[in-house]
Amino acid sequence: MNILKKALVLSATLTSFGPGVAYSEGTVEVLHWWTSGGEARAVGELKEAFETQGGTWIDSPIAGGGGDAAMTALRARVIAGNPPTAVQLKGPGIQEWAREGVLNSVDAVAESENWDAVLPPVLADIMKFDGAYVAAPVNIHRVDWMWANPQALEAAGITEMPTTWDEFNAAADKLMAAGIIPLAHGGQPWQDATVFEDVVLGIGGADFFRKALVELDQEALQSDTMIAAFDQLRRMRGYVDANFSGRDWNLATGMVMRGEAGFQIMGDWAKGEFLAAGKVPGVDFLCAPTPGNGFVLNSDSFTFFKVEGDDNIEGQQVLASLIMSPEFQETFNLAKGSIPARTDVALDAFDTCALRSHEDLLAAIENDALVPSMAHEMAIPRSIRGEFLDLVTNFFNSDMSSEEAAQTLAAAVARAQ
Ligand code: BGC
């Protein structure tokens, strides 16, 4: 390790999160898509911590849930030879950029802080290229969550959160009869795909999910199980209101908050919205995993692009160290709705939804039921994910049969590979 790097690692290690002396500086331009109430609050924690350490933070938010607009903006920036210092980016996307030779390594920081010892191996692998860390994870989000308004459920005579899709349908019918929108949903491709993958897990189980949405197995894609998943999705189309098209996910969460809708199916960034609005889990809103067994994993991370200049490089190293500090992982995730990516952070300050997430994560690892999210870019290349999003959205917005959907999907995926 050269002297400059050593000094940087040392300063990154010495600086601790929280108010205190500014040991180091450095500049980062951070491209992200955290613009909703809960998201802005969470990324605000990161900005504040970085600035408290003496760094300069240049904020580059690109609105659009799920990050599709942000990824388009990123490509334009990289092609123009002007990449941001750090980008909210995840899954195989990290490897794709690394292969293009446009990332910087933060392995010196990772090594000196022994990240390997505190990250679940499945996450550590995603953050590395050729054995060196090029990204740092901030959290573990769970995609297969269902959020509900307890007063709305009560008004419709629903006493328990559904644990099977039949129970979900029965509860939705009751809400409808009571004049309450059963499912708050935003008709955007990534949101359609989020609901779809949760249904696939619930109907097919983790092995089927993996075959169909990760390994892209043709038989699984065309199977009766996939057809059954589309049938359930078709049923759910009947549970959304007339104005669902194009709605942002956080507006759908607002509908549940206000009791206009009973349920929302969305990852636990929705909890960040409830919390930012001062809502209390178990009182103002309920959380439960969507029906089925398993855990759909989504993890946000910051990836470090090839920038030059001591100030930018130092910014990357300081940011990497900060992101991985146990204190920051706690503060950030309390706001974001997720749980820490580090396995050694105490969860005492976290709510019951987060504890459930943690417990189910461990059980899913144990039972081989942990699956990476297709909708949230943890599973497959972006181009193939695009085929899923197109087809699922097309299905949701047409009267396509489930059989046709399964066949068309299989054919599109085969063509894209
Ligand atoms: C990200 C979350 C974000 C959500 C909605 C997901 O893909 O992982 O951090 O809150 O999209 O924008």
User: Are 384 and 412 a contacting pair, CB within 8 Å?
Assistant: no
> Whose structure tokens read 């057809």?
227
Centre of ligand 1 to C-alpha 2, Å, is: 37
- As a whole number of angstroms, the distance between CA 159 and CA 303 comes to 44
**For a pocket test of ligand 1, which of 376, 377, 385 has the largest count of ligand atoms closer than 8 A to its C-beta?**
376
**219 exposed, middle or buried (CB, 10 Å; 0-12, 13-18, 19+)?**
exposed
Q: Which residue type occupies 332?
A: F
Whose CA is closest to 255, among 173, 185, 154?
185
Do 321 and 10 touch, CB atoms closer than 8 A?
A: no
- Closest ligand 1 atom to Cα of 299: 8
* pLDDT computed for residue 82 by the predictor: 96
For the chain of 417 residues, list the mean pLDDT of each consecutive stretch of 10. Answer: 41 43 75 97 96 96 94 96 96 95 98 97 95 98 98 98 98 98 98 98 98 98 98 98 98 98 98 98 98 97 96 97 97 98 97 98 96 97 96 98 98 97
Residue nearest atom 12 of ligand 1, based on CA coordinates = 65
Neighbours of 223 (CB within 10 A): 18
Report the atom number in ligand 1 closest to the C-alpha of 65. Answer: 12
Which residue has a Cα nearest atom 9 of ligand 1?
A: 300
- Collect all residues with Cβ–Cβ distance below 8 Å to 114 and sequence separation of at least 6: none
Nearest CA to ligand 1 atom 4: 66
Chain-centroid distance, C-alpha 314: 28
Under DSSP, is residue 115 helix (H, G, I), strand (E, B) or coil? helix
Which of 268, 300, 323, 339 is the pocket-test mutation for ligand 1 (most atoms within 8 Å of CB)? 300
- Among 31, 140, 141, name the best residue to mutate to test ligand 1's pocket (greatest count of ligand atoms within 8 A of Cβ): 141
Write down the pLDDT at residue 14. Answer: 43
State which ligand 1 atom lies nearest to the alpha carbon of 373.
Answer: 7
pLDDT score, position 2:
39
DSSP state for residue 211 in the 8-state scheme: I
Give nearest CA residue, ligand 1 atom 6.
Answer: 66
- Tell which residue, 136, 198, 123, 120, has the closest CA to residue 362: 120
Q: What's residue 24's pLDDT?
A: 58
pLDDT score at 137: 98
Pocket residues for ligand 1 (CB within 6 Å)? 33, 39, 65-67, 141, 269, 298, 300, 376
The pLDDT assigned to 25 comes to 81
**Dihedral angle computed from the Cα positions of residues 143, 131, 382 and 234, in that order, rounded to the nearest 10 degrees:** -30
- Atom of ligand 1 at shortest range from CA of 338: 9
Amino acid 243: pLDDT: 98
| Residue of 33, 332, 389 to mutate, ligand 1, most atoms within 8 A of C-beta | 33
Spacing, Cα 279 to ligand 1 middle (Å): 20
How many angstroms is it from 167 CA to the middle of ligand 1?
Answer: 28
Relative to the CA of 36, which ligand 1 atom is closest?
12
3-state secondary structure of 170: helix
For the four alpha carbons of 392, 393, 399 and 400, in that order, the dihedral sign comes to negative
Instruction: Write the residue with the smallest CA distance to atom 1 of ligand 1.
Output: 66
Query: Which residues does 274 contact at the CB level (< 8 Å), separation at least 6?
Result: 38, 147, 253, 257, 281, 284, 285, 337
Q: Which atom of ligand 1 is the closest one to the Cα of 272?
A: 10
Bridge partners (DSSP) of residue 265 are: 146
> Beta partners for 32?
61
- Residue 13 is predicted with a pLDDT of 43
Say which residue the tokens 């990289």 belong to.
78
Residue minimizing CA distance to atom 11 of ligand 1: 66
For the CA of 141, the closest atom of ligand 1 is 8
Q: Give Rg (Cα) of the chain.
A: 21
Give the Å distance between the CA of 66 and the centre of ligand 1: 5
Q: Give the span between the Cα atoms of 337 and 349, in whole angstroms.
A: 12
